[in-house]
Amino acid sequence: MQRYSGKTVIVTGSSSGIGAASARRFASEGANVVLNARSKEDLEAIAADLDPERTMCVAGDISKSGFPEDLVARAVDHFGALDVLHANAGVAGGGPFAEASDEDIDSIIDINVKGSLRTARAAYPELKKSKGAIVFTSSVSGIRGDYEMVIYTASKGAVSLMTQSMALEWGADGIRVNAVSPSMTRTKMAGSLMDNPAIKDAFLRRAALKRFGEPEDVADVVAFLASDDARFVTGVNLPVDGGVSASNGQPNFPAYS
């Protein structure tokens, strides 16, 4: 299946986890893939397994004003167009909110919210030309609250709602905007949680499929939402959570994606 042959995809936060899996999935379907994260070395490690003729690394921080525009410009200069943005870059953090510092708030909001907004805004002119698609990585934590995760849930709640607003605003331009909301997925971000027996037990009791998510579980859904197979789908925030969001009424727990 080569749904992305000749198309160009930017994947932010693609040096590990869901972003890396997404980049690999798009590449396997023929896409030109632009990898982005803050670490050049980590990006190059992912790129080493991809076709060098169809892969580009652009290291940088999407939360910094001006960088998202540079990222898009370099992608278009190199490959000629932009068809898909997977706005995946994000950070997490938890703890009692009453003890949170301004730096704690800024570190999460700047990347998860401002970075996502700026990257989508930068991509808009090119996606309007290509009638392209945006897929945000939100989280089940953006659908309902989690214990000692106030800042993270606020940031992912914003991502979930900006998905709907952009879909409404940009639909007439032919741009579809959707989001995936993973639950606990086997990434660096969630690794410490999976090692916590209490959290592991709480998650597996709530998850209908009785296992943690894998990055590829999410990447496969991202590739669907960005493809022509989902051509009449926009404004959707799709849980990719093993059935966790169906477990209403049970205690919440930290659920980094």
Annotated catalytic residues are 152
**Burial call 28-46: b when 16+ CB within 10 Å, e when fewer:** bbbbbbbbbbbeeebbeeb
Say how far residue 84 (Cα) sits from the centre of its chain: 12
Residues β-bridged to residue 10: 34, 85
